Structure 1
Amino acid sequence: MSSELSNTGGVVSHHAARDSSGLIPVVSYARRSEDSRQRDGHGVRYQLRINERTAHEQGCIVIAAYSDNGRSASKAGVARPGFDRLVADLALGHTDSGQRMEGVVCVADDRLYRRPEDLARFFAALTSRPGRIHVDPRGIRDPYSQEGLLQAVRSLDAAATESRARSRRVADWHWARAAEGVPHSGPRPFGWRADRITLHPEEAQLVVQAISDRIAGKAVRAIAADWCDLGITGTRGGRPSAQTVTQIITAPRVCGYRANRGELLLIPETGQPVRGQWEPLVMPDQWRAVCATFSPGSLYLHRGSGAPGRTGQKRTAPRHLATGFLRCGAQRRDGSMCRGALCAQKGRSKKSPYVYTCRNCGRCSISGPLADEALERLVFSEHRGVAGPSQLVWDRWRSGEMGLDEKRQVVASVITRCIVRPGTKGAASWDHSRVEPLSEHPGQAGWEYAEPTGP
């Protein structure tokens, strides 16, 4: 059955197939860039509810939902598993459960795309079959018409303009705060209380002693090890490492100076460093002295998301599947779990050409191929009680069509971190149960999958 569909701009020139109830089957998509406060996915849930109302008002019915929580659409290189599945299913013409899809409903175009390449992917998949529609709160749009494409391009241009303006406003706001000596926003700096102005007695003493020890020639790794033995954790709960200790003791804030975007902020009229509003830990000459103990290639001031790498070189891409996903499950002296990151290193046997070893305590190590295989089993397991990748993804993974980067994106869409329990010395066989998922990915709400047959 088919009929013409009215739109705010007139009459759609094509026909959309309806189901037995007389409604047009469409799929819903929602995306939220940030979910930093409540971290419960409420933003995408609200969008999906609005999409259901919009579909009902336009004579449609939502048969499947896709979402990406905490995922930017304007930044290059950000994986959006929900959007990727939507595009793939549109190209196939049906959902994982075999239901035919006749269109897409979304609260706004910028939820779907903010980059030209994403617009091209979406429209190519949407119009890969005849008779489909694009639905938003303003009505039903014809994606095959010239006006429908122009409207999408106008939405893309408006989204790009908005992103540039917002980025500029945020950068100016941070610079103005820095110029007045206001402390950094975000997590409190180590050594100061929650107000970021008053010194934290215990932490401040540790930083002052670390600066003195480093000037005297003590290795940063030794300082980090001492902090670990004392049970010290960072303001985010992590264990101290040589890199974090270096960033703490070389930060301009230790002597009261203010930096912005990785550079020391100077007063334009005098050229003198801007003084912060917080209590300093050491004098400026001590800060300069500890910074001088590091080579120029360390770029100690270069910190933050907009700063270059510490060595001035691009970070190499991971060469193994489980890199970044594994955490140490060994027990520390105080009885707590280490939870340090396991890093890939060269192995000593043909069966284990590489191994993952804890960079903090060094007491937990696992064969690289074993860890990768265990991670694969967890991702495609049918018994973890959560939805996993589709059968199509599993088929591509197993056939060898999927590259390492794409495999890692699939893992990240299901699992956040895994704990690796220490192995038994002299064990004759591999124990996949040593790798246990620590938490599931928070952005699963709203996705619909068909449970695959895993390994």
Structure 2
Amino acid sequence: MIEWRNWNFSAVSEPSAPIPVVSYARTSEDFRQRDGHGVRYQTRINERTAHEHGCMVVATYGDSGRGASRAGVIRPGFDRLVVDLRRGHTEDGQRIHGVVCVADDRLYRRTEDLARFFSALTSSPGRIYVDPQGVRDPYSEEGLLQAMRSLDAAATETRIRSRRLADWHWARAVEGVPHSGPRPFGWREDRLSLHPYEAKLVEQAITDRIGGKPIRAVAREWCDLGVTGTRGGRPNAQTVTQIITAPRACGYRASRGELLVVPQTGQPVVGRWEPVVAPEQWRAVCGTFSPGSLFMHRGSGAPRLTGNRNAAPSHLGTGFLRCGARRPDGTICHGAMCAQKGRSRRSPYVYACRSCRRCSISGPLADLALEQLLFAETHGGVRVPDGVQQRRQSDGMGLEEKRALVASAFVYCLVRPGVKGDHSWDFSRLEPVWR
């Protein structure tokens, strides 16, 4: 047995036995081929790097099409890596003595992720971090400083790239170039010429709404005619409202909830596409709705009006539960599980997955399980203060405080599907990912 605690990092090129390490790979985008090739390529590079430095990859973790710059992005592969590093072995019992990755920014681009990763990596002595530049000692001051420098470089790159992308979109917008993305309802695939059938529907809807017709009646008429949106959905009052109040209907160009204007004249920027109605008609139809319903306040990137924010969550598990059902391709769904009305007194509400719709769980029992995980004597390393324990036992703790404690302890909690026909309660269905 090799004593990893006393491993000589300067002599790692000639080990007496390969060091077992795990590989992590991540790509921010995978919307073109959608086959995960970026993660596969990085994994191959990691295997070569591990071999060059006397290591052997015993497990691989990956996140395809998952960014790491924004808060709240779920990275199942990274979360599983952190969990396995903390317990010291993979699910199948392989011991872990290090991590190999093509670059630091694949692992972390935010301070919180850096702290989680290094805390898990150094939770046991003698581990190493390997990249194409060599072997790093994560316990040394230089190793931590190098990680901080990588984090600062990644943050700087993110800011520069975000600014460059925002400027690029602004320049396109002021030139009147149509929005990218799905084809807007009412226009052909070129986004410039009008769709002969859909454009007439939009024009008639605007005329009818100005004349006092309820928007729900317009939506029902479209449904009766068999109209579907450009993504295949059936129209409802909200989608029809968005279509007829969008500035593109009169040819105007907007960005992030504001009409763009020509700096020299102050006049609205006119797009290159054919308009459906005149600007006066568009302003008239917008005047028939409350401001919070307009495209300018609900469209992509538009800021929401103050006072129209969603109500605070009314259940403990909202925002923390993730679906653990397996998709047909064998991957875990990880979709958000949202509270909805239940069908029994025992479960007046349930948490169900909106993505795959293959997993649900009793709401009260899931919330109780979360509390028991949080306030258990031994768990993932989070110690709840005694004063908080006493306040909880005396029913002096409100939902908001409980949710704050859950957020400080869990990244999320995976819910495994139950057995069909088995109505018994199984607390092991909830698998927390601790911070």
Instruction: Provide TM-score, normalisation by structure 2.
Output: 0.74
Could you tell me which residue of structure 2 aligns to residue 284 of structure 1? 279
Could you tell me which residue of structure 2 aligns to residue 422 of structure 1? none
Could you tell me which residue of structure 2 aligns to residue 275 of structure 1? 270
Question: Does the CA contact (< 8 Å) of 1:309 and 1:315 recur in 2?
Answer: no
Amino acid at match of 1:44: V
Amino acid at match of 1:171: A
Could you tell me which residue of structure 2 aligns to residue 23 of structure 1? 18
Amino acid at match of 1:263: E
Within 2, Cα distance between the matches of 1:186 and 1:232? 20
1:57 aligned residue (46, 52, 55): 52
Could you tell me which residue of structure 2 aligns to residue 294 of structure 1? 289
Within 1, Cα distance between the matches of 2:169 and 2:421? 47
Amino acid at match of 2:63: D
Give the direction of change, closer, same or farther, for the CA distance of 1:112–1:408 in structure 2 (3 Å limit): closer
Within 2, Cα distance between the matches of 1:348 and 1:378? 16
Flag as ranges the 4+ runs of structure 1 deviating above 4 A. 1-5, 13-18, 316-326, 342-349, 375-380, 396-409, 430-433
Say if 2:50 is the partner of 1:46.
no
Instruction: Provide TM-score, normalisation by structure 1.
Output: 0.71
Identity among equivalent pairs (%): 67
SS at 1:302's partner residue? helix
Question: Does the CA contact (< 8 Å) of 1:127 and 1:144 recur in 2?
Answer: yes
1:12 aligned residue (9, 12, 16): 9
1:319-338 alignment runs, 5 A limit:
none
Within 1, Cα distance between the matches of 2:80 and 2:189? 42
Say if 2:90 is the partner of 1:95.
yes
2:258 aligned residue (251, 254, 263): 263
Residue 316 of structure 1: CA displacement?
Answer: 4.3
Which of the pair has the greater relative contact order for Cα pairs under 8 Å at 6+ separation? Answer: 1
Could you tell me which residue of structure 1 aligns to residue 414 of structure 2? 410
Within 2, Cα distance between the matches of 1:153 and 1:407? 22
SS at 1:191's partner residue? coil
1:42-191 alignment runs, 5 A limit:
42-191=37-186
Give the direction of change, closer, same or farther, for the CA distance of 1:167–1:346 in structure 2 (3 Å limit): same
Residue 195 of structure 1: CA displacement?
Answer: 0.6
Residue 142 of structure 1: CA displacement?
Answer: 1.0
Question: Does the CA contact (< 8 Å) of 1:254 and 1:282 recur in 2?
Answer: yes
Could you tell me which residue of structure 1 aligns to residue 332 of structure 2? none
Residue 432 of structure 1: CA displacement?
Answer: 6.4
Residue 202 of structure 1: CA displacement?
Answer: 1.1
Question: Does the CA contact (< 8 Å) of 1:255 and 1:280 recur in 2?
Answer: yes
Give the direction of change, closer, same or farther, for the CA distance of 1:135–1:161 in structure 2 (3 Å limit): same
Say if 2:227 is the partner of 1:232.
yes
Could you tell me which residue of structure 2 aligns to residue 192 of structure 1? 187
Give the direction of change, closer, same or farther, for the CA distance of 1:215–1:14 in structure 2 (3 Å limit): farther
Within 1, Cα distance between the matches of 2:314 and 2:254? 35
Within 1, Cα distance between the matches of 2:51 and 2:23? 12
Q: Where do 5+ consecutive residues of structure 2 fail to align?
A: 324-336, 362-368, 376-402, 423-427, 431-435
Give the direction of change, closer, same or farther, for the CA distance of 1:193–1:180 in structure 2 (3 Å limit): same
1:293-442 alignment runs, 5 A limit:
293-309=288-304, 312-316=307-311, 350-351=345-346, 353-354=348-349, 368=350, 378=359, 400-401=373-374, 410=414
Residue 343 of structure 1: CA displacement?
Answer: 8.8
Could you tell me which residue of structure 1 aligns to residue 390 of structure 2? none
Q: Deviation string for 1:283-317 (max 9, x for gaps)? A: 00100011001113335313445322367533346
Q: Deviation string for 1:41-76 (max 9, x for gaps)? A: 111111111111111111111111111122111101
Within 1, Cα distance between the matches of 2:285 and 2:186? 17
Amino acid at match of 2:58: I
Give the direction of change, closer, same or farther, for the CA distance of 1:352–1:399 in structure 2 (3 Å limit): closer
Within 2, Cα distance between the matches of 1:12 and 1:281? 69
Question: Does the CA contact (< 8 Å) of 1:113 and 1:156 recur in 2?
Answer: yes
Residue 13 of structure 1: CA displacement?
Answer: 6.4
Amino acid at match of 2:38: G
Residue 213 of structure 1: CA displacement?
Answer: 1.7
Question: Does the CA contact (< 8 Å) of 1:16 and 1:132 recur in 2?
Answer: no
Amino acid at match of 1:66: Y
Question: Does the CA contact (< 8 Å) of 2:129 and 2:136 recur in 1?
Answer: yes
Amino acid at match of 2:262: I
Q: Deviation string for 1:244-292 (max 9, x for gaps)? A: 2111111100000011122100011111001100000000010001100
Within 2, Cα distance between the matches of 1:401 and 1:17? 45
Residue 376 of structure 1: CA displacement?
Answer: 10
Give the direction of change, closer, same or farther, for the CA distance of 1:147–1:349 in structure 2 (3 Å limit): closer
Question: Does the CA contact (< 8 Å) of 2:322 and 2:414 recur in 1?
Answer: no
SS at 1:29's partner residue? strand
Amino acid at match of 1:12: F
Within 1, Cα distance between the matches of 2:20 and 2:221? 62
Question: Does the CA contact (< 8 Å) of 1:189 and 1:235 recur in 2?
Answer: yes
Q: Deviation string for 1:142-190 (max 9, x for gaps)? A: 1111111111111100100000000001110011011111111111111
Within 1, Cα distance between the matches of 2:90 and 2:4? 25
Could you tell me which residue of structure 2 aligns to residue 443 of structure 1? none
Within 2, Cα distance between the matches of 1:165 and 1:133? 32
Within 2, Cα distance between the matches of 1:377 and 1:182? 41
Within 1, Cα distance between the matches of 2:86 and 2:312? 30
Question: Does the CA contact (< 8 Å) of 1:79 and 1:409 recur in 2?
Answer: no
Question: Does the CA contact (< 8 Å) of 1:16 and 1:133 recur in 2?
Answer: no
Question: Does the CA contact (< 8 Å) of 1:297 and 1:312 recur in 2?
Answer: no
Could you tell me which residue of structure 2 aligns to residue 421 of structure 1? none
Within 2, Cα distance between the matches of 1:431 and 1:118? 37
Within 2, Cα distance between the matches of 1:225 and 1:432? 39
Q: Deviation string for 1:215-255 (max 9, x for gaps)? A: 12222222223222322222122222222211111110000
